[in-house]
Structures are given as C-alpha cells and as structure tokens.
Structure 1
Amino acid sequence: MTTSPPDPTSPLAATAPLGCPVAHAPAGGPRPVYGPEAEAEPYAFYEQLRAEHGAVAPVLLYGGVPAWLVLGHREALEVMRSPLYSSDSRNWHAFRQGTLPADSPLLPITAWQPLVALTEGAEHARLREAVTESLARVNPHRVRRYITRYATRLIDAFAPTGQADLVADFSRKLPALVVCQLLGIREEDALTAGAAVADMISGSASAAQSNQLIVEMMSELVESRKRRPGDDLASWLLVHPSELSDEEVREHLRLALVAALEPTTNLIASALRMLLTDERFRGNLSGGQMTLPDALEQVLWDHPPLAVVPTRWAKADTYLGGAQIMAGDMVMLGLAAGNVDPAIRPDLMMPMYGNRSHLAFGAGAHECPGQALGRAVADAGIDLLLERIPDIRLAVDGNEVQVVGTWMSRRLTSLPVTFAPQRGAQKPAAVQSHAEPLPQPEAVPARQERRRGWLRSR
C-alpha cells in the first residue's frame, strides 16, 4: 500500500521553505493533519509522510475522519485532471453513510452545494461559463483604481505613526475591501466579511456560525441586486445566459469571496515577509534580476496561499502513487507538499522565477478562474506600499514572526514593521474618484517607470 521512500540524501532533507526541519520517525498508521505536529512544522510533517508512505499518504481529519493526502506533484496533477476523481462531495462515503456530525468543521468546505467547485460534467460546464464570463467583465483599470484607493487609505492610517502590523493593517484588509467592491458588497461590510471568511477557513469552533453569516450577507446581496442591478459580479451572475438560480448565484458569490480573500491575504503577507527577511529575495529584487511578479511566483512555489484542497473524491477503486484508493475515499490535494516534491525540485534553493507550473492555483477543469485578480491585488498593493514607505523594516527578529497553521492553510498572525513617520497623506496621482474616467493605456508606462525606479533604489 506504500511506495518506496525517497532518497534520504536529497537536498530536501536539509532545507525546506520557512526553515522547517525535516522530522524522521518510524512508519505508522494514518496521522492527523491537524494538531501541534502537523500545524507547527507542516513541511517537516509532509516530508515525514513522504518518507513513510511515498507520494500518497493516509491521514485523519477532524473527528478521526480518514482521507488521503497527495504529496507528489505529478500525482496531484493526475487527480486534478483525471475523470476518476470527482469534485462532487456526494461521492464521499462519509456523506453517503451519514457519519459526519452536523457540527463538523469540515462541512462548510465539503458539504455539496450547487457550486462550480463541487460539480462536474455538463452542470460544471454551465456554472463555469457563468463564472468565467462574469469575471471577464471586470475592468482591470477599475481593479487597479480600487487597489490604489484602498491601499492608499490603509497606508495613510498608519504612515504618520512610523509603525504598523502589515497583516492586521494591510494584508488582511486590502483584499477584503477590493474584492467586496467587485462583488457588490457594501464597503462598510467588507472587513466584517473578511473576518468571517478567515474564521471559517481556520476550522474553529465558530466556523459554522461564520459560514452562516456569509450566507446571509450573500442572500441579502442577491435580493438587493435583483431589485437594483449594479456594475458588479452579483448583478452579472443574475443576468447571465446560463440562467443561474438565486441559490446558485448566492453560493457562487460566497465561493468567490472565500476563494479570493484568504489566498490573497496569505500571498501578500508571505511576499512581504520574504521581502523583509530573506536577503536573497531582496538582493535579486533590488538588483533587477527579478520583478515583483517574479517574486510573487517564487512565493506561490514556496508558500502557496492554500496548503491543502480537500475537494476530490474517488469515483472507483484505483491506485495512485502506489496507494490503493477505494471508491468514495476523500483524496486531498497537498499543494504545498507537491510544490516541494523532490521529483521536480531536487534543489529548493534554485529560484523559480517565471515558472508557473506550481500547484497554487490548481489545474485542469477546476483551475482557479480568479487567479489573475489575486495576483493583481498582491502586485499592485505591495508595489504601492513599498513606493510610499521605502524604508520599511521588520520590527522584530525574523524568527519571532508568528505563523499559525490550520488544516488548509498557513498564515502569518502579525508582521510588525517600523519606518520613518510620514507627515500628512501623500496620495499618488493615480488615486481617482468613482466618477472619474478610466485611466488611458498611455498612463501605464509611467507607472512602470516608477516601479523600476523603486527597484533600483532598493
């Protein structure tokens, strides 16, 4: 049921992202993917599983629920692309047999709903078309304007103080404010929605209540846009030719919110942490050997915003990576583990600039349709922050930065920084009101020139 362990002389045994040591223990039964062992040192945990079981390992979820965790890059792509694995959770024997308790923290993520992420075949194609075509209507100039407006507002709030927590004051707030604008959610509700999503993803005791809050917010949004359509994703989904029901629109808005906020928050925070703590990163960025988008790709390789995606189920008995998978088994995609698979990255110190073959956004029919939006918020937001505050530096030792792991993601709890206090607001010329005309394409090179100037100054 297991494959041969990887070569113990692999460079992976000596180095891992975030400096996690590789633990060694005798092979045993399924290990829980939650708790101190897995959450404190996830990369050590992945390598321990890889040494014991190979590319696919048996694990336990909350309540002792069994599942498989895919650790191999090639095996993860196989699951994402093969029709043998369904995204419909009704295939899961835990649901068919009714063994999952009503208060399980797994339910907000895995319970079947009429979602593009949990359907397949013709139904998936219909829903996917509605989502992708509605997202295609988002004007990139408007997105840039929202990012500039809210990033400037957030920076203005802490710039005069000379200190900030870049997680609480920036990374967590910026995606919520931007994405909620695009969905049609009121600005005053954006940060509340963002906090609820973070709690739901964490798998806490209040995850179900936070999920219910998001459902209620989306229901109100659907009813509001039916009465008064706007220029936003909620309105576009309601009138799309695919004829989504009110429930389908509500659930896709909920999905878009969850899928956009947590990953983008983690991407921004991880990129800022790398910039402030990793001299190789700063040297390459300031020396012009890589751009900020290149740096984000490196972060997506080393610290993907979502570490595990638990939404695949085997439709028939099969073998994967030497493991025997039975029909109805949950097969979880280990995105973080697959990205450090020694079969594709024998030397983790080698840069991955410009290489987008990581697993961060998935692959196949369920590849993330909103990945360009996440990259845009992170790229433009970080660029503006560093342009406004070029002397920003970490206020604590890099080893003191607190990281909290959950069964699905690994997030920074804080990133305290200091800098020279700024007097008064210094809003860039790019900030515009809602009523002003869209930026013209000719304005883009000027922005790019400012970025190159900042890179040289670093």
Structure 2
Amino acid sequence: MTPPDEHSPTDSTLTAPPECPAHAYGPGGIARLYGPAAEDDPMGLYEQLRDRHGAVAPVLLHGDLPAWLVLGYRENLDVTRTPSRFSRDSRTWRDMREGKLPPDHPLAPISTWQPICAFADGQVHERWRDAINHSLGRFDRRGVRRHITRFADQLVDAFCLKGSAELVHEFAEHLPMLVMTQLLGMPEEYGPRLVKAARDMIKGTETAVASNEYVQEALRKLVARKRADPGPDFTSWLLEHPSELTDDEVQQHLRLVLIAAFETTANLIANTLRMLLTDPRCRANLAGGHMTLPDAVEQVLWDEPPFTTILGRWATQDTELAGQKIKAGDALVLGLAAANVDTAIRPDPTAPVHGNRSHLAFSGGAHECPGQDIGRAIADTGIEALLNRLPDIQLAVPEDELRWVSSLMSRHLVELPVKFTSQQPLPAAPDEPKAVTGTAQDADLPSTTDTPAAIPAPPVRAAGTRNSWWSSLTRWLRRR
C-alpha cells in the first residue's frame, strides 16, 4: 500500500468522516478494521469505505498494519481466481518478512505460514487439497446427517425440560464441534474446551496464541493416536492418503478444518435461527412452501455470511485493482459480507435470494471451502431436529435487545434466548453417550492413551418419538 505521506495533503480520503470517532482511523485517515468502532457496525463501515473508495479500500489491521479491503463482488472473484497476482502464501507479505508480526501478534495464529493448503498455490496446493477433498468425500452423507440429528437431540435433551434456553451457547456453538470431533475421530470430551479455544482464535484476542497452542496440542495427540490405531475417520483417512502427508501436515490440516467448520457453522446456525424467529417474511415463505429450510440457510449465507472477511491474499507483483495501485507484498482482505451486498450483482440487497448459491460466503476460486456441504448439513439438519422437538419455540426477549460482537473475520450473536413449552427428553439407547456441554475448564486435554473414538451407529429411538419435520415446522409457523 502506498504510505499515507505519499498522498497529496489535499486528498479528501485522508480525512476521517466527522461523525466517526477519532480512534476508528489511523495514520493518514485510513480506517482501522479492528477496535470498538469497526466491531460495533462492520457492515456500516464497509459501506462507508465503499462510498469513499469504491470496490477496494485502504485499511489498517491490528498494530496499524496496512492492507486493502476488497469490497466488490467481481473484485473478490478476481483476487481469488488469479493466484499469479494474489497469492495465499503469507510469506509474500512484506510486513511479515520485515518482522512486524511477532509470534504474540493477534493475527499470528491465522496468518503465519503453515504447511497447509490454505497457504499454498499451484501443485503444492493441489496435493494437499486433493487429500482433504478425497477424505471428506469418504463420509456417507446420510450417515453424517444421522449423527448430526443424534447430537442435536442430545443438546435439546439438556434443556427441553426447562421451557427456555439460550441457543448460541447451548446449541449453535456446541453442535458443530460435537459433529466435527466425531468425524475427526476425537473423544467427545474434547468439545467444550475446543469451542472456547476456537472462538478465541478467530477473535484474534490477546490470548489467541495460547488458544492456538491448546488446539495444536490436542490435534498433535490425536494424530499420534491415529497413526498407531487408525479408524473410520477423517484423521485416519488423511494419514493413509496416497499423497503421503506427514504427521505435521495432517495436524495442521485438521486444525484448518476444525476451526473453519466450527466458526462458520456455529454462526450459520445462530443466524438462521434468529431469522426464523424474527423475520415474518421468512416464516410466511416457509409456511407457504415458497422456501425450504435449506433455502433459508442459503439466504443467511447471502445476508450474514459466517466469515465477514478473510485475511488474506498477498500481492506477488505491482498491479492494479479497481483503480487502486497495489504494491508487491501488500496484504488484501477479502470482504465477503460486503461483496454479497454489492449492488453491481445484487441491485436490491433486501430482496430474497432463492435457489442461488453464487454468494461468496465460502470464498471462491481454488481455495473455496471444501467442507461447505458438511457445514450446510450440520446447520439445516440441526435446526430441523430442534424445531421438530420444540414446535412452539419463540424468542424470549424483544428483537432489539439482541446483541452481536464482531472481530476482524466474523460477527456473531452474543445470545439468542428462547422459550417454549416444556418437553420430555427423548428415550436414549442404553449405550448412547451424552453430549458434553460443560465449560472449557471441565475438559482437560485427554492423553494419547485415551481409547480412540470410532463413529458409532446412531441409536435407534423408541417408536413414535419422531414426527415429520415439515408437519412440525408448519405447526410452529402457524403458532407464530
């Protein structure tokens, strides 16, 4: 990025808008993508930057490191589809080479180069990505959905007698981690602490480095155990793939899959539930058969993508993007949420989008999320199970009392309190494990001698305990 002092002093882009707090802007009047001002209203900031700069805007990351925020839909696709100009290799980043991101920097866990496909291009990327795609493809989709339903039912069993719940912490955050730890072959006891560590890493907080170390240690022990005693799980399949990944390569890819799946899916579940509980138009479309639950999930992926931005891409050469002069070594941040409401491709961002998956919620190009279908399955199957169990569920507080917290890469609900008619837990099979939903402190690191967790067959419920989801959803909609 061109340093601020190289701009003309009369350049109007260097003056922070008067309505914005001074701390929202750094040297040269460039907007900060971190701190309270940016986190309180990220979408408002994106639109402000779009008005001032167009499809690509100069911004500052933690520590006032310069970067470019890509706001336009077509520009995001251009960046993701041309690795010759915009690489995923963070070693290209000038500030990284100059030592401006020490190990304790908040962005270090998500930007320091690692031996994973997310930081590679070309043949190296293809080798790693092929191992992931092939291993993910070995899961039976119907079997995965049965596991999702089993875990969702266990979570609902934990609060259904109360007649109330807080769905972010009691449901949306735990379901993806329970499913993913199962698919990776981890004991379910890992889940609670991993939920907290994963969220902390994504936030880029002062403790992000320590949280990253916890995740790495848990996965290091998992790889060692599966190398000695493989099973029918994602970890074992990566280890035995013809690409011959090293243990470290497997560990780092497990971290990538686990963290990305957790954050995106937890946010997607919470945002979809909020829409179902608060949006009369959505309820009417579902009740009238004009929208299915997967359609509702896709609408949320357009309007509230789980990752608002992604760091990053790094320019391999001097180039130009949307009129901005990008220098070799510059960092670029993909503005996924901003791109999804770009009026160049979506003239009316408030209009429903049915049957259209061209959003950028899962990024694009060669690095598009390989696990997006599993994420969709966890969201719509989990929500289906919840609504089937609690057909009269409704928001327990006024909608305007809901609060969000934001970070560089994501924005998520703090709480989603609901109420419903008290229900009895479903009868469980005698050998069915219960979902672990305690606090992070309740689950310490299991040792490498723990019994490997295979993927058991879902228990058979007693006859008559499940109803048609559609009939339950219709009853729920009619009660609204």
Structure 1 residues 99-131: Cα deviation after superposition (integer angstroms, max 9, x where no partner): 223311111000000111100111101001111
1:19-65 deviation digits (Å, cap 9, x = unpaired): xxx99779973210011221111111011000110000000011111
Per the alignment, residue 186 of structure 2 pairs with: 185
1:144 equivalent in structure 2: 145
**Equivalent residues of 2:387, 2:469 under 8 A apart:** no
Instruction: Tell me the residue number matched to 1:456.
Output: 474
Counterpart residue type for residue 71 of structure 1 = L
What does residue 339 of structure 1 align with?
340
Q: How does 1:402-421 map to 2 (within 5 A)?
A: 402-421=403-422
2:43 matches 1:43 = yes
Partner residue in 2 for 1:92: 93
Deviations 1:249-276 (A, max 9, x none): 0000010101100000000000000111
How far did residue 452 of structure 1 move? 2.8
Question: Are the equivalent residues in 2 in contact too, given 1:23–1:47 (CA < 8 A)?
Answer: no
- The equivalent of 1:196 in structure 2 is 197
For 2:440, the equivalent position in structure 1 comes to none
In the alignment, the residues of structure 2 paired with residue 181 and residue 436 of structure 1 have an alpha-carbon distance, to the nearest angstrom, of 12
Q: Which residue of 1 aligns with 2:437?
A: none
Moved more, 339-348 or 179-188: 339-348
Aligned with 2:57: secondary structure? strand
Q: Go from structure 1 to structure 2 and tell me whether the alpha carbon gap of 1:81 and 1:288 turns closer, same or farther (over 3 Å shift).
A: same
Q: Which residue matches 1:306?
A: 307
Structure 1 pair 23/375, CA: closer, same or farther in 2 (3 Å)?
Answer: farther
Distance, in Å, in 2 between the alignment partners of 1:46 and 1:115 is: 30
Letter of the 1:450 partner, please give it. S
Distance across 2 between alignment mates of 1:427 and 1:383: 19
In the other structure, the counterpart of 2:57 is 57
Letter paired with 1:52: R
- Cα separation, 2, equivalents of 1:404 and 1:42: 10
For residues 197-251 of structure 1, give each alpha carbon's deviation from its aligned partner in whole angstroms, at most 9, with x where no partner exists: 0111111111000000000011000100011101111100111000001110000
The 1:145–1:293 alpha-carbon spacing in structure 2 relative to 1, beyond 3 Å, is same
Q: What amino acid sits opposite 1:260 in the alignment?
A: A
Q: Secondary structure at the match of 1:68?
A: strand
User: Residue 471 of structure 2 aligns to which amino acid in structure 1?
Assistant: G
CA distance in 2, matches of 1:108, 1:221: 20
Q: Does 1:321 align with 2:294?
A: no
Aligned-partner Cα distance in 2 for 1:260–1:158: 25
1:129 aligned residue: 130
- Alpha-carbon deviation of 1:285? 1.2
Partner Cα separation in structure 2 for residue 347 and residue 240 of structure 1: 46
SS of the equivalent of 1:161 reads: coil
* Displacement of 1:454: 2.9
Residues in 1 aligned to 2:389 and 2:85: alpha-carbon distance in whole angstroms: 50
Q: Distance in 2 between matches of 1:199 and 1:25?
A: 28
Q: Is the 8 A contact 1:152 1:427 kept in 2?
A: no
State how far apart, in whole Å, the 1-side matches of 2:355 and 2:18 are: 31
Residue equivalent to 1:71: 71
Q: Which digits, 9 at most, give the CA deviation of each residue in 1:112-156, with x for residues without a partner?
A: 001111001111010011110011011212211211111111101
- RMSD over aligned Cα, in angstroms? 2.3
2-structure distance, mates of 1:418, 1:425: 16
State the alpha-carbon separation in 2 of the partners of residues 49 and 243 from structure 1.
45
How far 1:456 moved relative to its partner?
Answer: 3.1
Name the residue aligned to 1:110: 111
Distance, in Å, in 2 between the alignment partners of 1:331 and 1:270 is 27
Establish whether residue 265 from structure 1 lines up as the match of residue 266 from structure 2.
Answer: yes
Distance 1:268 1:384, change over 3 A: same
Alpha-carbon distance, 1:428 to partner: 9.5
- Contact kept, 8 Å, 2:80 with 2:86, in 1: the verdict is yes
The 2-side partners of 1:369 and 1:215 are apart by 21
**Structure 1 residue matching 2:189: 3-state secondary structure:** helix
Determine what percentage of the aligned residue pairs are the same residue. Answer: 53
Alignment of 1:355-374 (within 5 A): 355-374=356-375
Q: Distance in 1 between matches of 2:29 and 2:371?
A: 38
Deviations 1:336-369 (Å, cap 9, x if unpaired)? 0101111112212211111111000111110110
CA contact (8 A) 1:141 1:438 kept: no
Amino acid at match of 1:147: I
| Residue 349 of structure 1: aligned partner | 350
The alpha-carbon deviation at position 192 of structure 1 amounts to 1.3
| In structure 1, C-alpha distance between the alignment counterparts of 2:325 and 2:229, rounded to whole Å | 53
Whole-Å separation in 2 of the counterparts to 1:290 and 1:200: 35
Contact 2:92 2:315 in 1 (8 A): yes
Q: Matches of 1:127 and 1:325 in 2, distance apart?
A: 29
Structure 2 portions without partners, runs of 5+: 3-16, 434-454, 461-465
Q: CA deviation at 1:281?
A: 1.2
The answer to whether the 8 A contact 1:287-1:455 is kept is no
Letter in 2 for 1:454: S
Name the CA distance, whole Å, in 1 between partners of 2:315 and 2:64: 19
Displacement after TM superposition at 1:427 (Å): 5.3
1-structure distance, mates of 2:392, 2:148: 22
> Equivalent residue for 1:19?
none
Verify: 1:211 aligned to 2:229, yes or no. Answer: no
CA 304–427 in structure 1, closer or farther in 2 if over 3 Å, else same: farther
Distance 1:435 1:267, change over 3 A: closer
Q: After TM superposition, give the deviation of residue 190 of structure 1 in Å.
A: 1.5
Query: Which range moves more in the overlay, 92-101 or 334-343?
Result: 92-101
Alignment length (residue pairs): 429
Instruction: Note if contact 2:150-2:458 (Cα within 8 Å) is conserved in structure 1.
Output: no
Does structure 2 conserve the Cα–Cα contact (< 8 Å) formed by 1:142 and 1:438? no
Superposed displacement of residue 178, structure 1: 0.4
TM-score (norm 2): 0.86
Corresponding residue SS for 2:202? helix
Give per-residue Cα distances to partners, 1:309-336, cap 9 Å, x unaligned: 1021010011101111000000110000
**Amino acid corresponding to residue 326 of structure 1 in structure 2:** K
Q: Give the structure 2 partner of residue 442 of structure 1.
A: none
> Contact between 2:166 and 2:416, CA under 8 Å: does it hold in 1?
yes
Displacement of 1:432 in angstroms is 8.3
In 2, the alpha carbon distance for the partners of 1:188 and 1:310 equals 31
TM-score by length of 1: 0.90
Contact 1:118 1:311 in 2 (8 A): no
Question: CA distance change for structure 1 residues 23 and 302 in 2, over 3 Å: closer, same or farther?
Answer: farther
Give, in angstroms, the shift of residue 425 of structure 1.
1.6
Structure-1 residue corresponding to 2:159: 158
**How has the CA–CA distance of structure 1 residues 227 and 316 changed in structure 2, closer, same or farther, with 3 Å as cutoff?**
same
